[in-house]
Structure formats: structure tokens, C-alpha cells
Chain A
Amino acid sequence: MNQPTWYALTGVILFSMGIHAFVIRTHLVRRILAFNIMGSGVFLLLVAIAHRIPGAAPDPVPHALVLTGIVVSVSFTAFGLVLLKKIYAKTGKTALIDPTESTSDQTN
């Protein structure tokens, strides 16, 4: 059980915690936070994969992937939060109304 495996395991744990929270929590901010946790979990896993041989230099490709991943999750989070604010301003609720309900077209 060398060091990178530990990091991979924590990554995986973070991912699971993230997914659990993402699904269970209804409050949108918590959801977006959960999404970030999941993201960081995956990125941790990627970084752990990059450096599995103790001595050698780390493999740059996963690092690049992580970098791109981070940028993407940042943009998603930002857009999500902006959308959340707009929904909150319009509907006064911070959770998603039941889909079948919302489709009944009452734009409150």
C-alpha cells in the first residue's frame, strides 16, 4: 500500500461522498458544493495515478487532464450558482420544484 494508493483511496472516498450528497441534498448550493467535492475526488485520483512510481518524475498527461477538469468544473460551478441566484430571485425557493409540477407551466 504505497503512498499514491492512499491518495487514490481518499479520492474515491471523496467521490462517493460527493455523489451521495449530490443526490440526497435538495438545496442547490449544497448540490453544487457536492459536485465540487466529487470533482476534487476525481482529480485527486488522477494526480495519484500520475505519480505511481516513487522515484520517477510524474506523468504530465493526467496533470493536464486535471487542469482542464478544474477549469471545466469551475465554469460549471459558476454558471450553476448564477442560475441558482436567478431561480431564487424568480421562485423564491432554493430547491428544484418537482419536475412534473413545474411543467404545469406556472411561471411564478
Chain B
Amino acid sequence: MDTILGDTLTPHGLAWLLLFGLPLTLAAAAAARPVRRMALPLAPWSMVPALAVAVWPLPAADYPWLLLGLRLGLDQTGRIFLSFTAFLWICSGIYAKSYLAEDPKRHRFFAFFLLTAAGNLGLTIAQDMIGFYLCFVLMTFAAYGLIIHQGSHAARHAGLIYVILAVFGEVLLVTAIIMIGLAGSGNVINPGQVVSQAVHRNLIMALLLMGFGIKAGAVPLHVWLPLAHPVAPTPASAVLSGAMIKAGLLGWLRFLPLGAAALPNWSALCLAAGLTAALYGVAVGLTEDEPKTILAYSSISQMGVMLSAIGIGLALPKSWPLVMATLLLYALHHSLAKGALFLAVGMTGAVHAGRFQRLFFRAGTLLPALAMAAAPLTSGALAKTAIKEVALLLPSFWRELLTWVLTLSALATALLMAHFLCFFWSRNETEHGHHQPAAGQWYSWTLLLIAVLSAAWLLTPMQLEPLRGKLLSPSWWWGSTWIVLLGGLLGWAQWRRTGRTGKMVLPAVPPGDILIPVATLLKQLHKVGYSAVQRVRGKDLMRQLLAWRTAVHLRPALLSILRGGEESISRWTAVGTLFFLLAMILLTIILS
């Protein structure tokens, strides 16, 4: 029997299931009317076991009976991903408890919140392809609930776009998975290797890039992100941009044949896409005035950087471990910093609190912004330098381009952060009426800030050890500080000009930029298609084919033939004639 049950009954097997199952059960409890009152306070703590496992990893466990052979476990990437995801989910959980304290629909929010958490945690620990895909789908569709929580028209619109893209993403992923399944005969544990040897490798890679690209916000497919973030409640958008976008990245790491074979053209593509995303994100971000939208665009640009890092990985299979380490570090840094920023946006009321809170609040928002802008001694600096180191390994042409673009993006991010801070702080003063942030919000935010400061340093993978020493050297300091100062200066300057003229420097681009033209195009197509269908349906070709109408015309004719025929046959002369006619026919037949 053990072949079927695998190590379900072993302690670590149960632990894994508990980790994944606890949020699920709580989500169900939150939805069920009678028990939801008890479920709510427990919500954030259900992710604690996940964090514990991240810290003390357990051996992998096999469940052959579960969904074509599920396998849960942690490797190095998984461990780091799990750590920052779990941490972020716990913080936003605590934050949400108090942030939505008097929101009537909070039970529904927590139900979806916990479902998404389960999905997110699940996909980090899932080793096999279908397990990963299962959690990915669960997370995607549960997140929909978070996005349209407010129920406003904008929320519904953002939700609709999100679902359409999610379904497309899901369909692409299914195809890719099926192809990989075929190549790797069934449910595959290490998809990366299999994809590298697979026959239709290019097609699979294209599907994977696009499928996970939608979730990770790669440029052409990022349109849902800037729409979703502003409408989602703050803890949701924090988790959305902090942890869930990273799921797309994790998907790339797990599925793409990184470190297996050198794929120059694919790496060129990723690099190009990544770099355009980095610059494009920031460019559009600068035109926004809504704090959350700005942060959304900054996430898009950061994800662009990570995509380029993957491009590097594709180019240099040998140095892939190093690139992997940088990527993990970068993801860790970005998720924590972005999470902190988003939570800060939710606490605008702090401005009216006591002096000390106001000061602490200002410093708190400044810190992650600096980290994002890769100010010295921050995790951002560590991540950015790591990326630069790695970029040097690339062949000549790409090396120059990359370093140049990286510095430019660093500058741009700094500018964006300054732009964000100016708008954010100015907005705080004007808007009063926001209630004081509750204690829960403060605690979770401070916890996150501590993580932003320390986590990157604590968890730096051993490959990047030498880098740490280098950072502390003064020469490096100057390199990064001038970028931050220049960015801040430019940001402040723009803020002052808009302060007076009330008009942005750059023309305002509506959020979801390229979506607008595409949407109008689709609407036209739909109108044309619908009228065509109506015309066809009007005539109902099918019924014509079955010729019901002609049968209807035929009936009276048929009826008259029948009646006339029967009457005429019934006359005696007719009978007699027929009688003898048949006789003669039979006679001829017999005699012939």
C-alpha cells in the first residue's frame, strides 16, 4: 500500500499537507457563515507554519495518490521564495485584519485572501509540474476575488481584464504542460531538464514565457497590473505585487531550461524584453499621480530587470547558479520593499497622529524607497550590484548595453521613488479624514521594515558572499549615492513644478496604457462578429438545412394527394381496373 500512499503518513509528509491545507481550511471556515467569526483572527497565523518550514526545511514528500502524483519539497530557490512570500503574507494578513476591521464584506475578503495565500504557498513548495499548475490556477482565480473586493465599476473592469488575461495565460500554460508531460512521460518532477531535451522546445518556451509573462507583468501582457493595484485593498495589492508576481518568475525558474543549455537567441529576446520593460515601466510611472499606480509601474520595471537576469541565465548556462542567486536576492529585496511601500500607502492617516508617529511614518516610507533606489547599505544596492556583477560575464556587446541600461534604470527608479514620495507625502497633507492606522497596521509595517533592512543581508546566498565585502568599501558608496541624489533632485524638481502649475511634466498616460487601443479594437471586432452571427442565426441556417419549412409547404400538397388518392382508389371502377391491371401484370410475369 505504501507505493500508493507514498509518504503521506510520515510526519514530514503530514507537515507539508498541513502547510498547504491550513490556509485552505481556514478559507473555507471564513466563507461558512456559522464559523467565520472564529476563523478571522486565526487567518494571518495560518501562514506561520509555512515560514517555519522555510526556516527549518523538511525533506521532500511524495503523494502518488494525489492528483497524478504530487510531490512537495523545498530546494534552494523554493526556500528563499517561501521565506519572503510567507513573511509578506503574514504581515499583510495582520495588516488586513485591522485595515478592514469594520468592512462589512471582510469575511469574503479573507476567504479569497486565504485561498490565494494557499495557492501561492502551494506553488512555491510544489516540486512536480501539475502540483505547481494546480496551485498557480488556484492563486490566479482566487486573486480575482481580492481585486474586485470593493465592487466599484473600476474594480469590476480591472477584474474582467484580469480574468480574460488569466484564462489566456492558463490555456497557454496547459498546452505547455501537456507538451512537457508528453516529452517527460507524465507528471514531471524537473520540467527544466525535460524542456531542454523536448522536441518542440522553442514552442514550449514561447508558451511558458507568455503564460508566466502575463502573471509576471512582462511588457505587452502587463496591462492588468496597473488597473488591478489601485482598486485592490492595500494588503491585497501589497501581496499582489510582492508575492504573486514573483510566482510568474518562479514559474520561469522552474520550467525554463536554465543552466541546461546555452540558448543565445532566447536570451537575447529575454534581455531585450526585460530592458524595455524596465525603462517603459518607469517612463509611464512618472506620468502617473496615483501612488499605487506608480508603485505598480515600478513593479513592472523591476520585473523587467528580473526578466533580463533570466536572459543572462539563458545565455550563460555555466554561471547559472550565480545568476540564480542574484535573481533570488533581487526578488527577495523587491518583494519586501514593494510590500512595505504598498502597506505604507494604506496608512496615510498616520500623518495626523502624534509627532513621533508622523516622523516614524515618514522615515518608514523613505527607507523602502531608498532600498528600491538601491541606496548604499540597502538590500537594493546589494541586489543591483549583484546584477551588475553578473552582467559583466555576458559577451561584449550585451555587457556594455546591460551595464548602461542598469545604471539608467537605477537612476530612473530613484527618480520614480522620489516622484512617488513627493506625491505621496503631499497627498497626505491635503487628505485628512483618514482614520488613524490601527495598532495591527503599525506592528506589521514595522515588522516588514525590519525585514527590508535585514533580510537581504541575512539570507544572501553563499555565492554572493564576496559581494558583501565589496559593498562596504567606500569607493562603492559613491558610485550608488550619486544616482540616488540625482534621482531625488530631479523628482523634487518635478514635484515643485507640478505643485505650482498643477500640470505634469510629461503628458498623463491613462493606466493600462496599451490596453485602451487594444480594447477598442476588440470591441469593434465583437460588434462585427455579433451582427454576423445574428444574421446567420436570424435565418437559422440549421433549420433551413433540415428543410422544416419546405416540409411545411409540402404537407398540404401531400395531404391533398393522400385524400384525393384514397377517394379515387375507393371507386369501384378504379378497383376493377386495378384488379385486372394487376392480373395482367402478374400474368405477363408468370408467362414470361
Contacts and interface: CB of A to CB of B under 8 A. Distances in A.
Direct contact of A and B (CB under 8 A): yes
A100 B570 contact: yes
Interface stretch (B64-72, B93-101, B335-343, B571-579): B571-579
B567 interface: yes
B570 A99 contact: yes
A23 interface: yes
Nearest to A102: B570
B566 interface: yes
Contacts of A23: 572-573, 575-576, 579
Interface string B555-571: 00000000100110011
Nearest to A24: B573
Residues of B in contact with A, size category: 10 to 19
Contacts of B579: 23
Contacts of A96: 572
Nearest to A25: B572
Contacts, number: 20
Interface in A38-96: 96
Contact of A98 (B567, B575, B576): B567
Residues of A in contact with B, size category: under 10
Contacts of A26: 572
A26 B566 CA distance: 19
Contacts of A24: 572-573, 576
Contacts of B573: 23-24
Nearest to A95: B572
A22 B572 CA distance: 9
Nearest to B577: A23
Contacts of B575: 23
B572 A100 contact: no
A96 B571 CA distance: 10
A98 B566 contact: no
A20 to B, nearest CB: 8
A100 B576 contact: no
Contacts of B567: 98, 100
B23 to A, nearest CB: 80
Nearest to B579: A23
A98 B572 contact: no
Interface string A5-21: 00000000000000100
B587 to A, nearest CB: 15
Nearest to B566: A100
A27 to B, nearest CB: 12
A58 B572 CA distance: 39
Contacts of A19: 576
Nearest to B574: A23
A30 to B, nearest CB: 12
Interface string B324-360: 0000000000000000000000000000000000000
The CB with the most chain A CB atoms within 10 A, among B566, B570, B571, is that of B570
A39 B117 CA distance: 105
A99 B574 CA distance: 13
A26 B572 CA distance: 8
A96 B572 CA distance: 10
B457 to A, nearest CB: 106
Contacts of A98: 567, 570-571
A45 to B, nearest CB: 18
A96 B579 CA distance: 19
Contacts of A22: 576
Nearest to A99: B570
Contacts of B576: 19, 22-24
A96 B573 CA distance: 13
A90 B570 CA distance: 22
Nearest to B575: A23
Nearest to B576: A23
A23 B573 CA distance: 6
B308 to A, nearest CB: 92
B579 to A, nearest CB: 8
B575 to A, nearest CB: 7
The CB with the most chain A CB atoms within 10 A, among B563, B567, B572, is that of B572
Contacts of B572: 23-24, 26, 96
A47 to B, nearest CB: 25
Contacts of A100: 563, 566-567, 570
A99 B573 CA distance: 13
B218 to A, nearest CB: 82
A98 B575 CA distance: 13
Nearest to A23: B576
Contacts of B570: 98-100
A66 to B, nearest CB: 24
A84 to B, nearest CB: 15
B505 to A, nearest CB: 97
Nearest to A100: B567
Contacts of B563: 100
A90 to B, nearest CB: 20
A19 B572 CA distance: 12
A98 to B, nearest CB: 6
The CB with the most chain B CB atoms within 10 A, among A22, A23, A98, is that of A23
20 contacts: A19-B576, A22-B576, A23-B572, A23-B573, A23-B575, A23-B576, A23-B579, A24-B572, A24-B573, A24-B576, A26-B572, A96-B572, A98-B567, A98-B570, A98-B571, A99-B570, A100-B563, A100-B566, A100-B567, A100-B570
Given A98-B571, A100-B567, 18 more contacts: A19-B576, A22-B576, A23-B572, A23-B573, A23-B575, A23-B576, A23-B579, A24-B572, A24-B573, A24-B576, A26-B572, A96-B572, A98-B567, A98-B570, A99-B570, A100-B563, A100-B566, A100-B570
The 7 tightest CB contacts between A and B, nearest first, are A23-B576, A99-B570, A100-B567, A23-B572, A100-B566, A100-B570, A23-B573
